[in-house]
Amino acid sequence: MNTDIDLKQIEKKAWTTYFQDGLWDIFIGLFMMGGGLLLLINILCPPCPPSGGVSVSGLLYLGSNLIFGLGVLCVIACKRCITTPRIGRAKFSSARLRKQKFIVIVIAVLFFLYSPALLIIISGFLNSTIVFEVSLGMYVLQIIAIFAMGYFLDVWRFYLYGLLLAIAQLPFAVNIYTNNFPDAARVAHSALLMVLGSPALIIGLVLLRRFIRKYPKIIDRQALDRGVNDNV
Amino acid sequence: MSETGDGDTKSFVNIDRLVHEPARLTILAHLYVVESADFLFLMSQTDLTWGNLSSHLSKLEAAGYIEIEKKFKGKKPNTMLKITDKGRSALLDYREKMKRALDQLPE
């Protein structure tokens, strides 16, 4: 018998169970792949056409912030519909909750920084170098956000996704410093985002399938509560 | 093992049998690391069945090691389980005694 009851390990396992549903993985995967697709649309149809105004891709660009916000809300809703009915609820220590709040702040900051950044990108008022530097700043923020999720939520997979996102953005950063933005490099950038986003999506789907099988939904939650009340 | 054993074996005799049972030990350990949890959370974490978990919880509650908070979220009952200070010290005491007793065994 192991006499050393590793309470820290038990707490970590209990906490990480909430992230074994793969929902955030699916979100990150779709986020990266969607970003790649958006870039591709952007190349095929510039956001600010020479004739003036905003094109469909420009509107898509602006809408991407809304899609990001809706995606986060969707993950939260899915957590309530899929995760909680299967593994129940627990209130963790205040240290854990503080870390969770920090992640909420990071995501909110990303959301609110995106809007002005997207407006700068599609407005066409600034020269292309500044536009690309703003884009790079946004990419760096995304990478930091994913690494922060890995660190503060104690889920190592997110480090991998942060690394994949950083690799996917590397050609873009190189292009900025060589001041050379050929279409081929931009297509490669979008393709890389879509390819490197797929592992997160696949891992997320596999985890979700495993989670649903491992923790079947208990239909009658009220009966569960009654069970506790009757037996105790 | 003798009930009146002395020396090292005394540590075993003084072990809290209520905590020593593996299922209850697991329940207490899980409640120790969270502020509170519901029945379903404990079921998923401990792999115990509904009936099994209920019976262990009643023993732990009777001993004053856990407390049950019955609340309502809207119209739905929401029962949360919490370890008491007595339960906390019982678990830590158990850990200490087991460590001490087994550390003294020869290789």
Q: Please, are residues A61 and A38 in contact by the beta-carbon 8 Å criterion? A: yes
Residues A214, A21 contacting (CB under 8 angstroms): no
Does ipTM surpass 0.85 in this model? Answer: no
Record the pTM: 0.81
Integer Cα distance of A154 and A219 in angstroms: 30
DSSP E strands, B6-98: 36-38, 66-73, 76-83
pLDDT digits (tens, 9 = 90+) for A75-103: 999 999 999 989 988 999 888 999 889 98
Closest CB to B37 among A1, A3, A90:
A90
- The values of phi and psi at residue A10, to 5°, are -65, -45
Task: Quote the minimal CA–CA distance from B97 to chain A in Å.
Answer: 9
Average of per-residue pLDDT values in chain B: 84
**In whole angstroms, what is the distance from residue B100 CA to residue A4 CA?**
11
Distance of residue A49 Cα from the nearest chain B Cα, in angstroms: 53
Which residues partner with B68 through β-bridges?
Answer: B81
DSSP A36-79: HHHHHHHHHS-SS-TTSS--HHHHHHHHHHHHHHHHHHHHHHHI
Q: Which residues in A lie closer than 8 A to residue B55 (C-beta atoms)?
A: 231
Considering only residues A49 and A207, tell me which one the structure prediction assigns the higher pLDDT: A207
